[in-house]
Chain A
Amino acid sequence: MSNSENNYSNRLETAESLYADTPAVAIQVSRDVVVASIQVDLEQHVMARFQQDLLQRIHASGASGAILDLSGLDTIDCEEFTALRKIITMTAIMGAECVLVGLRPGVVSSLIEAGADVDGLRAAINLDAAYAMLQPEPEAEPPDAPDKAVEASVTEQENAQSAVDILPWEEP
């Protein structure tokens, strides 16, 4: 191992021990997308760790998109929002597009009333809709499996539908 590699792994260890007591945000990779579910208060250390973990997972998996599930957050204040935006910009620069899901009505109205800058943010009503935004085309299938391609586009339509049907229609 060269000296610089050694330094790097030392630094990684230091970084890991730095965050040993910091709650982690659950992150998993599914269908080429990194999904992060934020269920803890986003205080400064949590945010710093989340930023590091998320970018590392995107880098390691080569994912083309990221979905941030914010349904666990009761409030988002300006500083948390600014930090979130920063992380979203970072993922974009890595080449992974970011979609927010699960924002609560109260959180959304607070953000807008507070005058938060939401330009350029992408959001979806649920996970299915978020996947549909990130993967609008069904994956190219080999020509000898046409049935699967049809199946995939049907699922895609169902996804798109579920993004629209927020409430079931009730007869008056």
Chain B
Amino acid sequence: MSGEVHRTIQSETDASRAVLETTIYAQQAGFDEAPSRMIATSVSELVRNILKYAGSGEIRLRRVKKIGGSGIEIEAIDHGPGIPDCEAAMQDHFSSSGTLGLGLPAVKRMMDEFSLVSSVGEGTRVTARKWI
């Protein structure tokens, strides 16, 4: 399976589908039950942020390799308002939309590698990897 998966996220239905697809993708990549759910839960947080803050965006899943292992990379891209203060967004309980902003720190904890790039007015890109 070479397949990189790109999914446009515009509605709750797209979001649910992307989460489900992620579980299957992770299992096919060789992840066990528990880590597959963690990857899927991470995607769930990311698509939720896309819908809540940007309205629409994209999720990309790909398999990655390094010396001594393989894994999955998930990427969440949107062209929304961007995050003015990335450091604050990575704090637990920070949120600018009124709900508990647990999403991003949770993703960071569930995945092995995490990066957040955002510029105001241009959008946000979250990349996270998990190794088997």
State the CA gap A107–B110 with chains docked (Å).
Answer: 12
A161 within 8 A of B: no
Chain A residues closer than 8 Å to B19, beta-carbon distance: 74-75
For chain B, what secondary structure do more than half of its interface residues adopt (helix, strand, loop), or is it mixed?
helix
Q: Does A114 contact B (CB under 8 A)?
A: yes
- A contact face: mostly helix, strand, loop, or mixed: helix
| Chain A: number of interface residues, binned into ranges | 20 to 34
Among the 9-residue stretches B54-62, B73-81, B98-106, the one with 4 or more Cβ atoms under 8 Å from chain A is B98-106
A16 CB–B CB distance under 8 Å: no
Interchain CB contact (< 8 A) of B41 among A41, A44, A82, A110:
A110
0 or 1 for each of A120-147: is its CB under 8 Å from B? (1 = yes): 0000000000000000000000000000
Interface-lining segment among B1-9, B32-40, B114-122: B32-40
CA distance A74 to B21 in the complex (A): 12
Do residues B99 and A104 form an inter-chain contact, with CB atoms below 8 A?
A: no
B: contact size bracket: 20 to 34
Asked if A172 is at the interface (CB within 8 A of a chain B CB), the reply is no
Does A78 interact with chain B (Cβ within 8 Å)? yes
Is A158 engaged at the interface, CB distance under 8 Å to the other chain?
A: no
Residue interface mask B82-117, A partner, CB < 8 A = 1: 000000000010000001101101110110000000
Report if B16 contacts A (CB, 8 A).
yes
- Shortest Cβ distance from A117 into chain B, in angstroms? 9
Q: Check if A105 sits within 8 Å of B34, measured CB to CB.
A: yes
Instruction: Give me 6 A-to-B residue pairs in the complex whose CB atoms sit less than 8 angstroms apart, sorted by A's number.
Output: A77-B48, A78-B103, A79-B99, A110-B37, A110-B110, A115-B102
8 closest pairs, A vs B, by CB? A106-B37, A114-B106, A78-B102, A77-B44, A110-B41, A109-B34, A75-B41, A110-B38
Seen from chain B, the residues whose Cβ lies within 8 Å of a Cβ on chain A are 12, 16, 19-20, 23, 33-34, 36-38, 40-41, 44-45, 48, 92, 99-100, 102-103, 105-107, 109-110
Binding site for B on A (CB under 8 A): 41, 43-44, 74-79, 82, 104-107, 109-110, 113-116
